[in-house]
Structure formats: structure tokens, C-alpha cells
Chain A
Amino acid sequence: MSPTLTRRDFLRGTAAVGAGLAAGFNFPAISRAQGGKEPIKVGVLHSLSGTMAISEVSLRDVVLMAVDEINAKGGVLGRKIQPVVVDPASNWDLFAEKAKQLLLQEKVAVVFGCWTSVSRKSVLPVFENNNGLLFYPVQYEGEECSRNVFYTGATPNQQLIPGAEYLMSKEGGGYKKFYLLGTDYVFPRTANKILRAFLKAKGVPADSIAEEYTPFHHQDYQTIVGKIKRFSAGGGAAVLSTINGDSNVPFYKEFANQGLRAEDVPIMAFSVAEDELRGMDTAALVGHLAAWNYYQSVSTPQNKKFVQAFKAYAKKNNLPGGDKRVTDDPMEAAYFGVYIWKQAVEKAGSPGVDAVRQATYGQEFLAPGGKIKMHENNHHAYKPVLIGEILKDGQFKVVWRTKGLVEPEPWSEYTSPDKGCDWVNHKGTYQKA
């Protein structure tokens, strides 16, 4: 035998070692696969950078917390859940690209994600063409009914209509004139279309409704508040606000400084939640109202546990804000979405999309805000509606809540009375007879 080490010998040697190493590393994975215990992959599609990061990062956090909780209790069907987090960076095209990556490359069983309607619209074809499954956690304008999406946030009739109804009720103050004010994009435009139709149906004359929009990041609300002041002269007027994000502070400040008070002219907001109130000077907002399906202050035992768990989770994982973090409506919807999916997988006995979809219909869960139930056929959730009053510490006090759960109506009965959404007896959106 030659004492010199030839190149072939060397290669052979390293190959053997490499194979041995690879085998060694792969060994546990192989054994897991043989026992049927490989993890189930789920996608998390929330913007972690860009303009929407300020809201969406909290949703990623709460989804990962739910996954952690489930894994700590043994996972689903004896398998762990393995989250795959991607960052679509508030870029609508990137949302579609990342969704494709999650479905085709990572082969995830389900995706939890999106916030803005435009991002959801952008991923919709991806999920529909590849038969994926998306859980969407934010209240939205409705008028959508996709086979591949479960909507855990509110439909218009679970937020907008009760908000207006409350203001019109005797207890809410019996308001008769409404100023619809929003940021100029799809949600406020559609929301106000529905609100206007609703108010008209309730007999509010057209000259008692005003409608106005401002650009994104609008700062100067002098003229609009002046108009509201004249509009509200004589009393009985309220503002229904779908103003988005950073325009809220200048608006509420100007409102207070021009001498309008929440007791006389309340603002009912549909886009201001606890997470947005972080970092706001709340003095000018106190006493105004919001309509949601959940507040951090809801006093159920499971909510106390949820809030504590989230603060502890944020602290443990060194998330910015630590235990000063708050929970809000979209976060709760994102959180129970994970559990609904888990229960559906257990009922179906596999994470396959079609089986899970069938199993999701009618699924119930004791969410932090109270019991919720997925609809039997329209992919949305039965939810309670709560009217909250803004307090000084940026929290809400619940002043009114619906008796039971409100049935979701993706197509508003006021703007599209002839349309319905049903994936069991029909093929999605259908014409009512």
C-alpha cells in the first residue's frame, strides 16, 4: 500500500466522514418521520418592516405566542407546529410573492396573515389558485367571500352598524345627525357607503348626514372641525370616524381645542384600538367611543390569562415594549384564529386544506373576549360587539355590549341585500332568491 495519500483516497475518506456526519445529524429527523411526528408547518405573513409594521408586528407576536402555547401542550395530533415567519415589508406585491413561497416551497398547511385590505386582495389569487388556507384577523369592509380564507375579524354588521345603532339608541344618547369622516381609501369609503345606506334605512334624512375624506397623514383638521361644529349646532350630532393611523391625534386635539366635547358630540371610531393609543396624548380622546369585538379590559378569566400571558411573552422574548405591551381586537382575532385552526385539524384528523375547511365550519372556541363560533357556511365568525369609552390610560371601558353573538354578514344587507355568501349550499357568493 502506498504510504502517500492520493487525492482519491482523501476524497473517499472525506465522503465517508461526510456521509457519517449527515447520517448522524439526520438520524433524529428520520426517526421522527418514521413515527409520523414531523412538525406541521404554518406560515406567518405579517409586515415586520415598512409603514404597516407598527400594527402588524403585534399580530406576528401573538400568533407565535399561540403556537408556543399549543406546542407546550403537545402540539396538534401529537405533532409540533413549526411557524415559518416571512416579512412582506408592507409591500403589496411582495405579499403575493411571499404567499406563493409559503404555499409552494415551504408547503405550509395554513397561513396566518395580512392586515390591509389591499394586501389581502393581493394574496387572494395565490391562495385560490393553489388551494391554500389563510386566516385573516382584521375587521374589514366585507363584500368578499373566498373559499380559501377564514375571516376572524368583524364584518361591517359586526362593527359599523352596532356602533351607529348604539349612538341612535336612547342609552347611547339618541343622536340624530351623523358626520362620516374617514381617510381616503377603500375601507372608509366602503364603510361609509354601508353606514349611509343603514342610516337612510333608519329614516335619517340626507341633510342630517355629512361625509368627508382626508388624505393619508393629514394633519390640519381646522376646517373639518369647524364644519363639524356648525353641523352639530343645536345638538344631537355625532361623528363616525374611520380616520386611520397618525391623523387621529391632530384630529382629536383640534376637536377638543375648538371646544367640542365628547359628551355633546361623541366620536365613534372604527380604527382606533389599544395598540394605536400607545404613544398618543390621550387627554383629548377621553370619553370618545369605539366599536370593536374585544378590548383588553374585558373582564373574563380567560382574557386576564391572555393579557398576562402576552405581557409575559413579550418580556421573555425581549420584544420592544416588554410587559408594557397591550392587546387589542385584531390581536385577539389573530390569536383565536390559531386555536380554531388547531381544533379543526384535530376534528379533521389531518392538516389537509379541504378537510380542515370542512371541519372549521361551526367550530367554537372560548376566546379571550368570550365564546366565539365560526359560521356554518360563510367563512366568518359569530362575534359579540362591544362599545368602549376611551379612558385616560389608553384603555377602553365597555359601556355597552350586544346580548349574544352577532351573525357575520360579508355582504351588507343595506348595500347588497340580494347577495349572500355560502360555501356549503352554494358556491360562495350567490344571488338570494
Chain B
Amino acid sequence: MRALVASFALAVCAVVPAAHAAPPPDLARPLADLGREDAAARETAVKALGARNDPKLLPLFEALRAGSVYVWSRPGAAPQVVIGGEKSTAGDRDVMALAAAYGAEPLGVQAPVAELREVPVDRALRLVIKPFIDALSSRGELLDPDPAIRRAAATKLGQRGDLRTAAALREALVTEADRWTRATIEEAIAIIELGRGDAAARAAAATRLGALHSANALPALRAARDVPTAAAAVRRLERWQLFGTTIETLFQGLSLASILLLMALGLAIIFGLMGVINMAHGELMALGAYATYTMQNWFAGHLAERWFDYYFLAALPFAFLVAAAVGLLLERGVIRFLYGRPLETLLLTWGVSLIIQQGLRQWFGAANVDVRAPRYLSGGVPIMAGVQLPYNRLFIIGLAAVSVAVMYALLFRTTVGVKIRAVMQNRQISSCLGIRARRVDAGTFALGAGLAGLAGCALTQIGNVGPELGQNYIVDSFMVVVTGGVGKLAGTIAAALGIGGLDKAIEPGLGAVYGRVLILVLVILFLQRRPSGLFALKGRNADA
């Protein structure tokens, strides 16, 4: 379609009408009949065209369905059936670029809209057109450069095709290189044979479907009770499906855990290490998300199209820095006067969260904004038959792992980390030893805030970006930190894994609503038993 539009654009520039292939002579009549007033004549014409099975007619059928086929009656020439393209204005009248009905090559003319009459297409005609489009387009799609489209076409053919389609699929299999597409094509062939072949072919197809772990074939196999090998194939498939579901659930748990961890990591530092109940943590995430949005718009506005996908890589550090800067401002401006007064900081940061929210609303508008997923974070990688891992989730798992590793290295392998831990353990003695406690405070707070910004940036690939973004995540963040044990990074990690895994393990059975309720109940019960969380601080400064 894009090529079609592009060719129209070219046609606008061309002065000389492009030469185009004339339709075979026996098609001229049905093509002309399409323009007739009589609905029955149009239907007969479409059937005659469809029977040709000619790929060059596909654009015409598609245009017919979209209602962009016209009869062009210009003065001094016979009326002609054409495909309409882009509309534009030339002088004071509306004109439209036209393409030939056969082959859809641009005619290189701009016809006044007044000379065009739309070929009416009703439901009855669409019903006639659809199978022709399906047959023609799936054949074309089997050769598409995008493997996902090839797979979808094969699946579709497998569900609707006949033995002749199976031959076409076998042909496609010869040149197919992609492993997963090959499996899909083989599956489609086997499904067709299971439905329509002779007894021996059906038995072989059933066995092959079992070997292919084809979930798509399960209903057909269950129905094929007369095929002796079907029962074994069904059993094999069901075993495989259980295996696949387990893998999938594990991945889902890991993915949710990584999101929780990324959200809670910043809070674990600000709340856990510094003891500041930061109600604005969610809004710092929202700032990170809006920083991503800003970066995306900057890329779209200032750089060439091909660089656009890289905006996300630039947005990651940018979101970190924006949130860290706001965090620094917050710490220097107000929070440093309130250390050791948790209730006041709670109220204050809550107020700050409202201010940030309203500020975002004023600046960007109350409606959600649109952050587009870069191409490398759309779609997923198939790892086994029936299981595909989305790239955005894989990326977030990776980001969470890297963030945790960097935080560990920073806190336990560098001098800065030693200072941070020293100040958090005992401010007075650290000061006596020459550590500038105030600066460490500010830096630590900014670090925690920056991590929140990073989480916000990553979350743009999962959910919405709006002023209320923070509100959706703040409760989860606190839940993870408190369950894990305040002041322990390892506790936060364990809690994120535990809650994420448990949530995904419960959800298939109970549903999202009750799953959520049960998780909250479990967390409450757990905290009743162990008020200080999974990993409690021990020793003299436990309640400092």
C-alpha cells in the first residue's frame, strides 16, 4: 500500500503519462461492467475477474472494498474504471491521482473530482470480493520480507485452504529460510492434510502435528477421532502445552518482578537507606516518562526519520538526569530541613507530588501523551512453538538486572558507596571522620530519584504516559520495599521476585481482580508475622 501511495506521489510529478500494461483483452469487458449502474452486473463482473486468479487484480479488489474505485467520464473519451488515489487541490478545484484498474499502475493524471463517480460497493459485493482478496493476498504474503506476515499467511491458509493450497505452501517451504516460518508452513500443510487427505496421509499428518507441537491443530486433532494417531498426538500436544505454559508463566513472573524491582529500586534507596517516606516517588517516575516523551518529540522534530528509533536510547540517560535534578532540587530545597521527621516529610512529599502532577497537567495537558515504541522494542522472539517473548519485556528485565548490578557495585565496591553506607548508618560519626554528610545526603537522594526516572522511561514501553502515571505505581513500590525489609537492597530484590512470581502464579486460576486481592492479603499476613520484612536489619542501628 505504501508503495502504491509513493508511486502516486511520483505520478504527480510526472508530466508524461506513464505507460502501463493493458489488461488482457478478455478482461476488458468485465472491467468496464464494473462501472455499470446495475448491481447484478457488477457482481457478475467481479466474479469473472476473480476467477482469473490474477495477482495484478488484487489492488483493484482491495480498492473496491475500500470504496476507492471510480468511473472516470471525461469529455471526449469513453468512461473508464480507475482506482482513485490521493486527493489534492489544484487551483480552485479538487483533483485526484488515478491508477489503472488492472495492475494499479499510476496513470499520471490528476482528474477533477467532478469527473469521477464512485463505484458503489455494498455488503453483497464485499462478500463476493473477500475470498478473492484472501486467496490473492495470502499468496503474496507468503513471499513477504517480514517473517511475521509470512507466518500469519501460512496460518490463515492452513485454516481455510484446500489441497491445492497445500501444494502452494510446499512450494513456499522450499525457499523458506526462517525456522519458525518453516514450522508454521509445515503445520499449515499438515492441518490441511489432516482435514482433507486420505486415511494414510491423515494419520501421518496427525503424527507430524504432534511432533511440531502445533497448538493450532489441537481442536482439529481432538475432532479427528477416526484417525488412529490423533489421540497420541493430542496427548503429546497437551504435555507440550503444559510445558509451554509453565515457561510462559515463569517469564511473566520474572517480567513483572523486573518492573516492580525497577520501580522500587529508587525507593529502596530513598526510603530504605535514607528513611525518607517519599510520596513523590511516583511523580519522579512520571517525570522520567515525560522526559522520554520530550526526547521522542525532539528526535521527531530535529532529526531524520531513520534516527527516530534511537530516541529511546537517548531518553534513558535523559530521564535519569531530569529526575535526578528534580530530586536534588527537592532535597536541597526542602527535605534536608526535615530529616528524622518522617510524618512531616510524608506530608511534604505528598504535597510535592500534587504540585508535580498539576505542573505536568498544565504543561503537557490532562490527556495521556503518545510515546511510540521503537521498532526494536515491538514484537517478540519466538523461543518454542507457541511461546513468544516480547522484546520490551526482555529489555526491562535486562535493564533491571543492569541497574541492580550497578547499584551493588556502587554501594559495595566504591568509596562513594562506603561513604553512603557510613552516613546512613551513623551520620554523626561519619561527619566526625570527615565525610561531608550533607553532600552525601543530596547525592543519594538524587541517585534514588534518578532511578525512579529511569523506571518511568522504561514504563513508557509498557503502559500509558499521563499526569496520573505515578499514582498507579506508588503503592506497588512501597509494597515491595516494605515487604523486602526497609534498608536492605537484597530484600527489595527478593520481594520483587516473590510478589511478581506469586502474582503471575495466582492470576491464571483466580483472575486479575481476585489475584490482586489475594496478593494484598498475603502481604498483610506476612507483615503481621514479620513486621520488619523479609530481610530485617539486625544490630544496634536497626531502628535508627
Contacts of A256 on B, CB cut-off 8 Å? Answer: 378-379
Q: Enumerate A383-424 residues with CB–CB distance to B below 8 Å.
A: 397, 400
Contacts of B249 on A, CB cut-off 8 Å? Answer: 223, 226
Per-position contact with B for A239-283: 1 when CB-CB < 8 Å, else 0? Answer: 000000010011001101111010110000000000000111111
Query: Whole-angstrom distance from the CB of B258 to the nearest CB of chain A?
Result: 12
> In whole angstroms, how far apart are the Cα atoms of A230 and B217 in the complex?
11
Q: Enumerate A218-250 residues with CB–CB distance to B below 8 Å.
A: 218-220, 222-224, 226-227, 229-230, 233-236, 246, 249-250
The reply to whether B366 and A230 contact each other, CB–CB distance below 8 Å, is no
Q: Does B130 contact A (CB under 8 A)?
A: yes
Contacts of B391 on A, CB cut-off 8 Å? Answer: 257
Cβ contact of B513, chosen from A213, A233, A236, A281, cutoff 8 A: A213
Q: Does B156 contact A (CB under 8 A)?
A: yes
Q: Does B365 contact A (CB under 8 A)?
A: yes
Are A219 and B462 CB-contacts (below 8 A) given A54-B366, A281-B373? yes
Q: Does B516 contact A (CB under 8 A)?
A: yes
The reply to whether B373 and A250 contact each other, CB–CB distance below 8 Å, is no
Are A215 and B516 CB-contacts (below 8 A) given A257-B390, A281-B371, A321-B365? yes
The reply to whether A226 and B130 contact each other, CB–CB distance below 8 Å, is no
> In whole angstroms, how far apart are the Cα atoms of A105 and B381 in the complex?
64
> In whole angstroms, how far apart are the Cα atoms of A164 and B16 in the complex?
50
The reply to whether B152 and A261 contact each other, CB–CB distance below 8 Å, is yes
Please, which residue of chain A has its CB at the minimum distance from the CB of B516? A215
Among B127, B156, B366, B463: residue with most chain A CB under 10 A: B463
Contacts of B259 on A, CB cut-off 8 Å? Answer: 220
The reply to whether B218 and A257 contact each other, CB–CB distance below 8 Å, is no
The A/B interface has a contact count, at CB < 8 Å, of 133
The reply to whether B252 and A226 contact each other, CB–CB distance below 8 Å, is yes
Q: Does B340 contact A (CB under 8 A)?
A: no
Are A264 and B464 CB-contacts (below 8 A) given A215-B516, A259-B388, A279-B369? no
Contacts of A259 on B, CB cut-off 8 Å? Answer: 148, 379-380, 382, 388
Contacts of A222 on B, CB cut-off 8 Å? Answer: 252, 255-256, 393, 504
Are A234 and B219 CB-contacts (below 8 A) given A214-B513, A278-B367, A400-B123? yes
Please, which residue of chain A has its CB at the minimum distance from the CB of B191? A234
Cβ contact of A258, chosen from B152, B390, B507, cutoff 8 A: B390
Q: Does B229 contact A (CB under 8 A)?
A: no
The reply to whether A223 and B508 contact each other, CB–CB distance below 8 Å, is yes
The reply to whether A214 and B382 contact each other, CB–CB distance below 8 Å, is no
Chain B interface SS verdict (over half): helix
> In whole angstroms, how far apart are the Cα atoms of A229 and B389 in the complex?
13
Q: Does B216 contact A (CB under 8 A)?
A: yes
> In whole angstroms, how far apart are the Cα atoms of A424 and B248 in the complex?
58
Query: Whole-angstrom distance from the CB of B371 to the nearest CB of chain A?
Result: 6
> In whole angstroms, how far apart are the Cα atoms of A284 and B461 in the complex?
12
Contacts of B508 on A, CB cut-off 8 Å? Answer: 223, 226-227
Contacts of B256 on A, CB cut-off 8 Å? Answer: 220, 222
Query: Whole-angstrom distance from the CB of A351 to the nearest CB of chain B?
Result: 34
Cβ contact of B512, chosen from A170, A215, A263, cutoff 8 A: A215
Query: Whole-angstrom distance from the CB of B184 to the nearest CB of chain A?
Result: 11
Among A214, A223, A254: residue with most chain B CB under 10 A: A223
Are A320 and B252 CB-contacts (below 8 A) given A250-B462, A253-B462, A400-B123? no
Among A170, A217, A236, A281: residue with most chain B CB under 10 A: A281
> In whole angstroms, how far apart are the Cα atoms of A282 and B372 in the complex?
8
Query: Whole-angstrom distance from the CB of B114 to the nearest CB of chain A?
Result: 16
Query: Whole-angstrom distance from the CB of A326 to the nearest CB of chain B?
Result: 11
Q: Does A9 contact B (CB under 8 A)?
A: no
Query: Whole-angstrom distance from the CB of B360 to the nearest CB of chain A?
Result: 13
> In whole angstroms, how far apart are the Cα atoms of A60 and B512 in the complex?
35
> In whole angstroms, how far apart are the Cα atoms of A214 and B511 in the complex?
8
The reply to whether B245 and A226 contact each other, CB–CB distance below 8 Å, is yes
> In whole angstroms, how far apart are the Cα atoms of A222 and B255 in the complex?
9
Q: Does B386 contact A (CB under 8 A)?
A: yes
Q: Does A128 contact B (CB under 8 A)?
A: no
Query: Whole-angstrom distance from the CB of A115 to the nearest CB of chain B?
Result: 15
Q: Does A354 contact B (CB under 8 A)?
A: no
Are A249 and B379 CB-contacts (below 8 A) given A219-B472, A222-B252? no
A/B interface sample: 10 pairs, CB < 8 A: A54-B367, A213-B513, A215-B513, A229-B386, A235-B159, A249-B463, A250-B462, A256-B379, A280-B368, A281-B373
Query: A264-B152, A320-B366 known; 7 other A-B pairs, CB under 8 Å?
Result: A171-B127, A220-B503, A234-B217, A253-B392, A257-B378, A257-B391, A280-B368
Please list the 5 inter-chain residue pairs (A to B) with the smallest Cβ-Cβ separation, ordered nearest first. A257-B390, A234-B219, A279-B368, A233-B215, A222-B252
